[in-house]
Structure 1
Amino acid sequence: MSDLSSNAALFAPRSGPLARAVDWIIRHPRMFVFLLVLPITLWLGIVYIGALIALLIQSFFSIDEFSGVVVHEFTLKTYGELLRPYNLDIILRTVAMAASVTIAAAILAFPIAYFAARYAKGKWKALFYVGVMLPLWSSYLVKVYAWKLVLAKEGILNWIFAKLHLTWLLDGFLSLPVIGGNSLSVSYIGTFLVFLYIWLPYMIIPVQAALERVSKDLTEAASDLGATPRQNFRMVLLPLALPGVVAGSIFTFSLTLGDYIVPQIVGNSRLFIGQAVYTQQGTAGNIPLAAAFTVVPIVIMGIYLWGARKMGAFDAL
């Protein structure tokens, strides 16, 4: 009886409009949850989505070629400028870099994630997580500038190639058209290496999580039925781990697609989408074209996320 009386006293209506409102919210869990998510919903709806809508509207304006003033009239002229060879080259270059980084990250991440999922136990698994996450604990700019020094002509990488008498091999890579340059720090090869290093942890973790959910009994059963290791990987392991690979590719692809700091510090004078947005918005003052450039990765990622959802990638996030 004492418990019942104490519970009744606890949930008894209190006086005052504020107290009664609190009591009513507590007695209605759905309203309580709604009020909890309301602030973040307003933030996303007003600040984030509102900014995207404003950006989209700006992309339908144009700029007067003589006065440099933005003409606030809806037109597709700015999007037509994206199809000019110079701007189209920027888009294709960025997408090619993002795709190559994503593919290379998946190739490197899979064996690392497989070892962690199958063989790392206890403290070794904890050490694995620390090793993967450790690069993320340092400053983004510090890592990029550190790689700038490593890849420079006077950097440690060139010194190692010289000590191994493999300078001819490095010079051969740098002499390749398009991707080469005077040194690794001013070439697409160097930009690719820095992107790969920075975003690789974002691929390893989802792949490792997907492989954790693949039962070892399935691969053993396939081996018992006569499957070779290659067939086991191609027909059992890879299809089951593919959602994790796609989930990791969402991070690596999107982050590479929108980055402008890495190609600004490590790379040559050819622009990527992020640099084009910065240049058009800051130096040229062409806000509509900068907005149109930012719509490009949004559309690409929208299509990419739709395909990833069809493959069940969100289950591995």
Structure 2
Amino acid sequence: MSAIVQQRSILRDRGNLSSRISDFLWKHPHVLLTILLAPPLLWLGVIYLGSLFALLLQSFFSIDDYSGLINYEFTLATYRQLLNEANFDIIVRTVSMAAIVTLVSAVIAFPIAYYAARYARGKWKVFFYLGVMLPLWSSYLVKIYAWKLILAKEGILTWLLTKLNLLWLLDAWLSLPVIGGNSLSVSYTGTFIVFVYVWMPFMILPIQAALERVPSNLIEASSDLGGTPQQTFRHVLFPLALPGIVAGSIFTFSLTLGDYIIPQIVGSSRLFIGQAVYAQQGTAGNIPLAAAFTVVPIMIMGFYLWMARRMGAFDAL
């Protein structure tokens, strides 16, 4: 009998304790918020920001040319190496490719997103989302290697152009300097095609979300006031959809800027920033130069995100 009484007393004490804790958290919601946010903020501060700070710190060191060891003295010599012709070409090449991929992705994605936002209904809406999201469900490497086979000299694209008697057009394109090569699979053109294909969903969805927020009566009012379709697009639709375009460009630009797998598998032997980082920290063992290379896209994306925020792009994410 005493054991039952003791057990009831323990349960009563536990109930009172949980009630007191619940009451305290209800009266002090900031304490509950602190408890909930502390673990993710701690992870963000220590793991993510801490690693970025360590990376930034490494970029101010240098490598000894004779011993190959890291010289732990603060210097800007590593950043001066980025201005060498070879390293600066890598930066320009990467930024140019990211900008072109972003621009072309926006041009292709806009009509697709516009149709989905303004006209697709019911099962067609579902079909649209499946069509956009389905490529994201397959393996990243599988998609790249599939495109390498498609763009190869013995691939299906060459076969199709041969059947259409248009192989001369491909040969003329591949003969162009810089963007050409022995085949599309070892050229900047092939790298560009794969970049656009892989990152296209990240451009379509934000634009589609922004276009769905555009009131239909604004477009109708523009037509009622005598505006042509071109004027309606330029003065009404495009400005309202611009935050979505900028939001999509954040994904496509940043992902292209830091990717090193696609240029490694499909493309020429000229390096991009991601490949340079991999080569410097792996093969060459030059950690400071690899860290300095990684600071470049961080600075570019920091400025880009600041501009995107001013344009209201985060509202369309």
Give yes or no for TM over 0.5: yes
**Equivalence for 1:267:** 267
Any idea what SS the aligned residue of 1:268 has? coil
- The match for 2:159 is 159
What's the TM-score, normalizing by structure 1?
0.94
What whole-Å deviation, never above 9, does each CA across 1:227-284 have from its counterpart, x for those lacking one?
Answer: 1111110111000000000000000000000000000000010000000000000000
Q: Find the aligned partners of 1:13 and 1:118 in 2 and give their Cα distance.
A: 61
TM-aligned CA deviation for residue 37 of structure 1: 1.5
Aligned to 2:61: 61
SS in 2 for 1:178: coil
Aligned to 1:298: 298
Partner of 2:5: none
TM-score w.r.t. the length of structure 2 is: 0.94
Q: Is the 8 A contact 1:280 1:287 kept in 2?
A: yes
How far apart, CA to CA, are the structure 2 residues paired with 1:188 and 1:34? 50
CA distance in 1, matches of 2:44, 2:110: 34
What's the CA shift for 1:121?
0.7
- 1:169-202 Cα offsets, whole Å, 9 max, x none, are 1111111110100000000000000000000000
Alignment of 1:121-160 (within 5 A): 121-160=121-160
Partner amino acid, structure 2, of 1:247: A
Q: Would you identify which runs of 4 or more consecutive aligned residues in structure 1 move more than 4 Å?
A: 12-23
* C-alpha displacement of 1:13: 8.6
Amino acid across the alignment from 2:195? F
**SS of match in other structure, 1:73:** coil
Unaligned runs of 5+ in 2: 1-11
CA contact (8 A) 1:14 1:20 kept: no
Q: How does 1:17-96 map to 2 (within 5 A)?
A: 20-21=20-21, 23-96=23-96
Query: Shift of residue 25 of structure 1?
Result: 2.6
Deviates more, 1:216-225 or 1:267-276: 216-225
- Residue 183 of structure 1: aligned partner: 183
Query: Are 1:174 and 1:181, in contact at CA under 8 Å, matched by a contact in 2?
Result: yes
| One-letter amino acid of the structure 2 residue matched with residue 87 of structure 1 | N
What secondary structure is seen at the aligned counterpart in 1 of 2:271?
coil
Equivalent-residue separation in structure 2 for 1:260 and 1:88 (angstroms): 17
Structure 1 gaps of 5+ residues are: 1-11
Q: Deviations over 1:135-177 (max 9, x none)?
A: 0000100100110111000000110110100001111111111
- Residues 137-286 of structure 1 aligned to structure 2 (within 5 Å): 137-286=137-286
**Deviations along 1:200-247, whole A, 9 cap, x unmatched?**
000000000000000111111111111111111011100000000000
Name the SS for the 1:242 alignment partner.
helix
Contact 1:206 1:248 in 2 (8 A): yes
Measure, in 1, the Cα distance between the counterparts of 2:75 and 2:16: 57
Cα deviation, residue 22, structure 1: 5.3
Mapped pair 1:113 → 2:113: yes
Tell me the C-alpha RMSD between the 2 structures. Answer: 1.5
Asked if structure 2 preserves the Cα contact closer than 8 Å seen for 1:78 and 1:289, the reply is: yes
Aligned partner of 1:177: which letter?
A: P
Equivalent-residue separation in structure 1 for 2:24 and 2:58 (angstroms): 45
Shift of 1:17: 6.7
User: How far apart are the structure 2 equivalents of 1:176 and 1:21?
Assistant: 73
User: Which deviates more, 72-81 or 16-25?
Assistant: 16-25
Confirm or deny that 1:103 pairs with 2:103. Answer: yes
Distance in 2 between residues matched to 1:236 and 1:16, nearest whole Å: 61
